[in-house]
Amino acid sequence: MIDTEIKKLGQAVREAVRTAKIKQKPQLLSITEPLAAIDPFSFFDNAEKFTGGRIFWNNSAEGHWLAGAGEALALTAADHRFEETERQWKEMLENALIHNPHRVPGTGPIAFGGFSFDPDKETTPLWADFNSSLLRVPAYLLTMVNGDCFLTCNVVIYEYDQPEQIELQVENHKKQLLKQQAILPEGPVITDKQEIEPDSWKQLVRNATNTIKQGKAEKIVLAREMKVFFKNKVNVSPILRQLADMQTNSYIFAFENGEDCFLGATPERLVKVENQQLLSTCLAGTAPRGRTEAEDRKIGGQLLSDEKNRQEHHFVVEMIKKAVAACCENVQVPEAPVLYPLKNLQHLYTPVEAVLNENYTIIDIVKRLHPTPALGGMPSEKSVAFIREHENMDRGWYGAPIGWLDANHNGEFAVAIRSALIRGGEASLFAGCGVVRDSDPEAEYQETNIKFTPMLSVLGGRS
């Protein structure tokens, strides 16, 4: 891997063809350049026809945006998915010619994608195209950090490539992507929505509380699905813009795969690494927002002191603290949670900060953390086994890590909740909740109802 000053595209392509010939191996050529300000939603919308699909990411608190078009390369694995991802990523970087003088996180070649919740659960046709791990190096990547824009072009160069042709193709694609659009396409119109077997789901909650009372587990997170039908094939870009407008304090994400698109607005960070500084988040325990400020404060206060919710939260803190301490120095965790307010609900929140030891990567941490007791339960193996056996749905990528890593050991993964899988004119929405000994099925059902709201409202359902 070489890091040099920015080269003119033509020169860089000619060099890459020469290297491909000498090494007799395709080379990933990655060139990053600064860009005048551009609307990321417009970039995303312009990328619709690019083969391989689009990606989208916004960490709203830090003003960090990624929008990607097409696919230069993909990393995917069935067995040992985290180790394999790491291995393929390193191998790819060894055969990459990187021209990125900007040390900005999320510029240059990145791998963006996700993992399934449980690779041992039988998959259904719903998630057929979403492998148990799939990360993509986008062909074109817009990175925006605090208003500064960068464009990275990633192209695999073969020894037989004609440099002029590649240059022309890249210039044409850039023109297409950077066209500023005044108006995005229309948002979707819902024709019908269906909850999947709510009564048998409540029965499942009872089954879980009984299992907990028998001492076989302490917490089991259960999820359910809602199906939504639309008048027409859904356009994703206006939905992403609405999510970004409405769901502050959240990560907006999308991973498009052929005709399908998995997207959402999740408040839950799994892990962020920047310059070896690690940040993870414990987020569990839920209450609605109040209609007035006074009511909101009252509900928040009750949530902070509610034993059942504190227990849900406590399991997450204990597990994350332990997992992080195994690969980090200087682990810092506050004694008690604080409130994390969202548009439709509020959570208990505890941040975990640490310094990552040099010999670990973000993928190591993702492997150790997933699934945290926020999405699996406590203890992990028993709760995941319960979910695998009894939960009557295919979680696919819901509840699992989604995010990115770059060539400079930076990266960030969120937990893909408050999410939906859109397939043409239909969507599946997912929502879950932490079941503990004192869980009441009806209350948990209502909690999942509020968790559907962020996605449902931008899909044209109730707000």
Ligand X SMILES: C=C(O[C@@H]1C=C(C(=O)O)C=C[C@H]1O)C(=O)O
312 touches ligand X by CB under 6 A:
yes
314 touches ligand X by CB under 6 A:
no
Of the candidates 128, 123, 127, 84, the residue with the CA atom closest to the CA atom of residue 367: 84
Helix (H, G, I), strand (E, B) or coil at 348: strand
Q: Where are the beta strands (DSSP E) in 131-205?
A: 133-137, 140-145, 148-157, 190-195
Query: Under 8 Å CB-to-CB from 397, ≥6 apart: which residues?
Result: 114, 115, 116, 117, 127, 130, 255, 262, 416, 419, 421
Measured CA angle at 109 (ends 368, 138), to 5 deg: 95
Q: Which of 347, 367, 370, 423 binds ligand X (CB under 6 A)?
A: 347
Closest separation in Å from C-beta 433 to ligand X: 4
Please choose which of ligand X, Mg ion, none residue 432 contacts, taking the beta carbon within 5 to 8 angstroms, the exact cut-off set by kind.
ligand X
283 touches ligand X by CB under 6 A:
yes
429 touches ligand X by CB under 6 A:
no
Of the candidates 273, 262, 292, 243, the residue with the CA atom closest to the CA atom of residue 419: 262
- Residues found near Mg ion in the complex (CB under 5 A): 286, 433-434
Site for ligand X in 375-394 (CB under 6 A): 375
CB atoms under 10 Å from CB of 210, counted, come to: 11
Window of 64-72, 172-180, 387-395, 425-433 that interacts with ligand X by CB under 6 A: 425-433
Please choose which of ligand X, Mg ion, none residue 221 contacts, taking the beta carbon within 5 to 8 angstroms, the exact cut-off set by kind.
ligand X
| Distance in Å from the first CA to the final CA of the chain | 49
Q: Is 202 annotated in the active site?
A: no
Q: Which of 106, 285, 337, 401 binds ligand X (CB under 6 A)?
A: 285
Please choose which of Mg ion, ligand X, none residue 418 contacts, taking the beta carbon within 5 to 8 angstroms, the exact cut-off set by kind.
ligand X
395 touches ligand X by CB under 6 A:
no
Residue 447 assigned as binding residue: yes
Q: Do 33 and 150 form a contact (C-beta atoms < 8 A)?
A: yes
Q: Which of 139, 153, 324, 433 binds ligand X (CB under 6 A)?
A: 433
66: left (phi over 0), alpha (psi -120 to 50) or beta: beta
Ramachandran angles phi, psi of 325, nearest 5°: -60, -25
Which structure tokens are listed for 274? 């920047």
367 touches ligand X by CB under 6 A:
no
Q: Is 268 annotated in the active site?
A: yes
253 has which bridge partners?
Answer: 57, 264
Per annotation, catalytic residue among 15, 86, 121, 219: 219
Integer Cα distance of 384 and 124 in angstroms: 18
Residue 381 assigned as binding residue: no
280 touches ligand X by CB under 6 A:
no
Closest separation in Å from C-beta 439 to Mg ion: 8
Helix (H, G, I), strand (E, B) or coil at 37: coil
Closest separation in Å from C-beta 389 to Mg ion: 22
Q: By C-beta, is 67 or 303 nearer to Mg ion?
A: 303
Provide the annotated binding site for Mg(2+): 312, 447
Per CB under 6 A, residues contacting ligand X are 221, 223, 268, 283-286, 312, 347, 374-375, 417-418, 431-434, 451
Provide the annotated binding site: 312, 447
Catalytic residue numbers?
A: 219, 268
